[in-house]
DNA sequence: CGATAAAATAGAACAGTGTTCGATAAATCG
DNA sequence: CGATTTATCGAACACTGTTCTATTTTATCG
């Protein structure tokens, strides 16, 4: 009745001399298939039926490994974050704020080109074990700054909030016309900036000041620049 | 469900006086109804049928005012942000960073108790006029710091990213069991912290350091504390 | 071994969704 | 008044997540 939603790998299915008349999955293969679909066609493209078809089985089989679509998305996001955990496994021996920066950038990179990820990352740590560990790892760097528990908690939340918020914003699912390929990404951006240029300069001085920057900006640079603002403020507080 | 008047004989033109046999809407009433439903039952509760029923008309009528559900959500979110725009109308004559703080907090307050808002705010400025103006207003405060266009753009994006990211995170739609009322919010939180407390202290020192803070924390305080970190870093850069 | 229980798989059906279509009523205007 | 535009609405379509039940495969154990 209860599906093994936590971590347990179902007993190995890979053996058998007889030809299978039924498909055979595992939590890992289900999540891998989900991530594939998500990467290809976004969160909207991940339907239970599409996933079942990719796995070569029936729809209902997915529900053996996952309680529903929501948990599927949470776990798929969490599985990707496992990669970030590995990438940053050895971080933690340098300057605390430098280490914080390293982890944050790694996290950003993971989310940046996965538009679907932002919305499901660090949502339900009860079922997202990798997310929890990543949160812990970030918190540990902040701990080394010697602040109070309260300050440590707030600073960690601020960093996580900035990273996920900015990454989610930048990795936003493009409109369907772009996904479908009817309009190229460049055309779409050109039209957006054109619309901004048409705004009244007296009413929108800021937009007009930064429009050229916007038109040719790099998301990653922008993210890191903002992150450094936050970390500068944090360093200031730590040295007080 | 039924039409307000005279559903029995739709085509009968009632002798002396005309009887309205059809509902009549407007974009404003459609968005207002949408916001009502969103406030009551979250993004998942906003279905076209539920909205049409509240407006007392047919489903298809909604599509006269809005291209689809996606645009409906974008516009509903934008209409709420109009309130923030009014609240902060007179901001802009004090210390730039203080003003930035004021606007950010106003924006946070608007999103905080509207779990659905976070995901749709500042998404499609092409159709979200209030969002665009709010973005402009934030940018104008940053402009006053006398940074380069590039720095101004990055700093503005950082503030917006932090505010929306943190607010969206904090205003997350609670699990269905909480929404439905099967489990109270306190019980849910108690269970979550209990699960954290059960973690190995050697492996999760950070979690154990902050668990008491987490259990009794106030979202708003936490948000403002983190915001001040970011603004401190910004002030540092401005004075350089 | 073989029987019995448990773990997995899958087809079909259910209730609900966003959206489109065509008909039609109401408002507008010459 | 008639003609045209604006707005409303029921019905239908294609698709969704999910559940039910039956069935197959694997593990357990006397």
Give me the mean pLDDT over the A101-117 stretch.
Answer: 94
Give how far B90 is from chain A: nearest CA, Å.
15
Give me the mean pLDDT over the A155-164 stretch.
Answer: 96
Indicate the pTM of the whole model.
0.89
Q: Is pLDDT at B229 greater than 80 in this prediction? A: yes
Of A22-31, A128-137, A201-210, B34-43, the range with the lowest mean pLDDT is A22-31
**Which member of A149, A163, A226 has the closest CB to residue B209?**
A149
- Chain B residues 86-125 with a CB less than 8 Å from chain A: 119, 122-124
Contact B219, B112 (CB under 8 A): yes
Best mean pLDDT range from A22-31, A43-52, A190-199, B159-168: A43-52
Q: Is pLDDT at A63 greater than 80 in this prediction? A: yes
- The string of pLDDT tens digits covering residues B63-115 is 999 999 999 999 999 999 999 999 999 999 999 999 999 999 999 999 988 98
pLDDT at residue B20, as a whole number: 54
Proportion of chain A above pLDDT 90, given as a percent: 74
Would the CB atoms of A234 and B236 count as touching at under 8 Å? no
- The string of pLDDT tens digits covering residues B169-202 is 887 776 666 766 677 778 888 888 999 999 999 9
Q: Which residues of chain B neighbour A140 with C-beta distances below 8 Å?
A: 205-206
pLDDT at residue B180, as a whole number: 65
Q: How is B121-169 classified by DSSP, letter by letter?
A: TTS-TTT-HHHHHHHHHHHHHHHTT---HHHHHHHHHHHHHHHHHHHHH
**Dihedral sign, CA of B226, B231, B233, B236?**
negative
Give how far B20 is from chain A: nearest CA, Å.
39
Give how far A56 is from chain B: nearest CA, Å.
30
Cα separations (Å) of B122 from A2, B112, B157?
Answer: 40, 15, 11
**CA proximity to A206, closest of B92, B208, B59:** B92
- Chain A residues 32-91 with a CB less than 8 Å from chain B: none
Q: In the structure, what pLDDT confidence band is assigned to residue A200 with cuts at 50, 70 and 90?
A: very high
Q: Does A202 touch chain B (CB under 8 A)?
A: no
Q: Is pLDDT at B38 greater than 70 in this prediction? A: yes
| Residue with token string 């900015």 | A166
Structure tokens at B54: 């509240």
Q: Does A183 touch chain B (CB under 8 A)?
A: no
């Amino acid at each position: 009745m209860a599906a093994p939603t936590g971590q347990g790998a179902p007993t190995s299915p890979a053996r058998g001399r007889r030809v299978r008349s039924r498909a055979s999955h595992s939590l890992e293969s289900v999540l891998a298939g989900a991530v594939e679909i998500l990467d290809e066609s976004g969160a909207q493209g991940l339907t239970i039926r599409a996933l079942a078809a990719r796995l070569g089985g029936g729809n209902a089989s997915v529900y053996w490994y996952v309680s529903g679509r929501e948990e599927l998305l949470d776990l798929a996001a969490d599985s990707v974050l496992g990669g970030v955990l590995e990438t940053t496994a050895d971080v933690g021996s340098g300057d605390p704020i430098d280490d914080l920066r390293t982890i944050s950038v790694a996290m950003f990179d993971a989310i940046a080109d996965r538009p679907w990820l932002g919305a499901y990352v660090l949502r339900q740590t009860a079922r997202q074990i990798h997310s929890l560990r990543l949160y812990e790892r970030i918190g540990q760097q902040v701990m080394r700054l010697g602040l109070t528990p309260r300050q440590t908690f707030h600073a960690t939340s601020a960093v996580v909030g900035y990273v996920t918020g900015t990454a989610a914003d930048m990795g936003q699912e493009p409109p369907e016309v772009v996904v479908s390929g009817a309009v190229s990404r460049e055309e779409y951006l050109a039209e957006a900036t054109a619309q901004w240029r048409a705004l009244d300069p007296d009413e929108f001085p800021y937009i007009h000041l930064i429009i050229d920057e916007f038109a040719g900006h790099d998301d990653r640079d922008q993210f890191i620049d903002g992150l450094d603002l936050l970390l500068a403020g944090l360093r200031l507080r730590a040295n007080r």
